[in-house]
Every structure is written in structure tokens, then in C-alpha cells.
Amino acid sequence: MSKRVWKRVYAKLDLFLLLLIPLAWYVVFKYVPMYGLQIAFRRFNPSLGITASPWVGMRYFSQFFDSYYFWEIIYNTISLSIYQLAIGFPIPIFLALLINEIQHKRLQRTVQNITYIPHFLSVVVVVSMLNLFSNVDYGIFNKFLGLFGFPAADYMAKAQYFQTLFVFSNVWQSMGFNSIIYIAALTAIDSTLYEAATIDGCSRFKKIIHISLPGLLPTILILFIMRMGSLMEIGFEKVLLMQNPINMSSSEIISTFIYKNGIQKGQFSYSAAVGLFNSLINFLLLLFSNTLVKKFTKTSLW
């Protein structure tokens, strides 16, 4: 490195020292565990360790691909991911636009606080609320639908309602917090553009269409690419808490399958192979979405 570069580093040494903390965390918890990926290709025995366990090649991948539940798990994971992306991705954008249009500052802050609160509820609390709301005897869902003549039903125990309950409860819990970055992007838009549009007689709707949305587009595209890179990565905690023997046909996904086989059954190599397959799909989706967005716009991750 040249002396000029070292001088710049020394001039901002305090910032670089602060950077060491997240960098060390990333190395320890993200890069070091990659060493253990090789157990997906070994018959891992904890008493022998990783390197002493015998190689089995692609055996566990073939075992997963040939299993009778492979297509069901893949279908459930893809359908739930797409459902969640289609509903959960645009709603924070709309919420940010609506909050940005509120002229009364106190009302604006109140709406923001109300929509942020659900994010800080634990998954256990949210699933418990779903169980209470869908209770056959006193649940809010059944009380409300009963007003229109619908019979009472335990919606948490029905496979056809699992994905809808999962997605919309996720949206309710996360839309406020996810809208923060869009609100920040909206505040960065030059206010003179809105003033000029007002002089030209543009309505508030036209300002949103021609100023706010174009100003948000780079942020939307970057977050879309990042979301595509984790499309198949659905957290197992909430799904596992919502699962029961009746809705298993639509609720068993890759992440819960990995948890059950790896943690509960101790099939470490098999679950590592399934997890590696899932990560590879996410990586390919990231490359594809970044290439596609870069082809049609100037925005991309690299």
C-alpha cells in the first residue's frame, strides 16, 4: 500500500478500529463455519471429528433428491417464499409513501410508532396470538366470520390456511420496521422537486408517481436483489411453532426439515447437505436477480 493510503487510514484510525469489531464477528460467525461444510460430503462422526470422518461424496444429496418428500418440501418452500415476497415486499413501500404524505408531524410519528411496535414482539407471542384469534370457541376470526354466517373452524389446524396466516402475520409484524429504510430514502429526495411540482399543479398522487417512486427505485431494486438472495431462507422458528400434524402437508419446508434432521435426529451430514443445497439455490437466485436488474437499470450490488 502507498504512503498516501496509509496516511488516510491513520487520519481515520478510530473509524477503522471500530470496523474491526463487526469484521471480526463476520469472520468468526460467517467464514470460519464454512470449514464445516465438508461434513455434507462425509459420514460425520462427532467422536472422530470432521477431518477424520470418511468421505461419502454426493451420497446425502442423492438421498435427499430421491426421497419421497423432496418435491413436497421444495413446493412448500417455493410457494411460501413467493407468497411472502409478493405480499410482504411491496407493503412496506406503500406504508412509507403513506407516512411520508402525512403532513401533521405528531400524527406521522404516532403512525410510525404504532407500526414499529409489532416488530419487537417475539415469534412465540405472535404465534400465541394466532392460536387465540383462531380458537373455535372464542377466537376473533370465528366471531367476526360468524357474523356473516360462516361456521366456526380451527384455521391453525387447516393446511389450506397455513401460508396465508404465516404471510399476513409476518407482514403485520415487520411492515413498519421494514419501511424505515424507505422513509429514510424519501427524506433524501430534493424538496425543490415537490415545490416545482406543486407550482405546476401536480396532485399528491402525481407527485408520488413521478417524484417519490423514481427516487425510491434504487433502494427498492437493491433490497429486491438482497431479498432474492434469501428467497428460500425462511426462518424455521415461526413455521415450527405453527406446525401440527394436520397442516404438515403445507407447512413442512426446507428449514424445518433441516432442523428436525440435524438437531432432533442428529443426522448432521444429511442436514448439512440439504442446507448446502438450499444455500446454492439462494446464491444462484442472487446472481440471476442482480444480472437481470443490472441489464435493465444502472443499479446493482456489483
150 pLDDT higher than 90: no
Q: Say if CB 96 and CB 186 are below 8 A apart.
A: yes
pLDDT score for 115: 94
Choose among 129, 98, 131: nearest CA to 114: 98
Eight-state DSSP code of residue 210 = I
Q: pLDDT band at 1, cuts 50/70/90?
A: low
Q: pLDDT band at 9, cuts 50/70/90?
A: confident
Mean pLDDT of 14-42: 91
Q: Domain map of the chain by residue range?
A: 1-56, 67-296
CA–CA distance, 94 with 106 (Å, rounded to integer):
20
User: Is the pLDDT higher at 3 or at 191?
Assistant: 191
Mean pLDDT of 287-292: 94
pLDDT score for 12: 82
Of 148-157, 174-183, 208-217, 235-244, the one with minimum mean pLDDT is 148-157
Mean residue pLDDT of the chain comes to: 91
Residues 6+ apart with CB under 8 A from 248: 159
235 three-state secondary structure: coil
Mean pLDDT of 3-28: 86
67 three-state secondary structure: coil
Q: pLDDT band at 116, cuts 50/70/90?
A: very high
Residue type present at position 89? F
Mean pLDDT of 189-213: 90
pLDDT score for 17: 87
Mean pLDDT of 40-45: 94
CA quadruple 64, 241, 25, 28: dihedral positive or negative? negative
Confidence (pTM): 0.89
Q: Residues 77-112: pLDDT tens digits? A: 999 999 999 999 999 999 999 999 988 889 999 999
How is domain 67-296 classified at the CATH fold level? MetI-like fold (1.10.3720)
User: Is the pLDDT higher at 238 or at 157?
Assistant: 238
pLDDT score for 235: 81
2 pLDDT higher than 80: no
CA–CA distance, 90 with 111 (Å, rounded to integer):
18
Q: pLDDT band at 297, cuts 50/70/90?
A: confident
pLDDT score for 55: 94
pLDDT score for 298: 83
Q: Residues 258-272: pLDDT tens digits? A: 999 999 999 999 999
Mean pLDDT of 18-38: 91
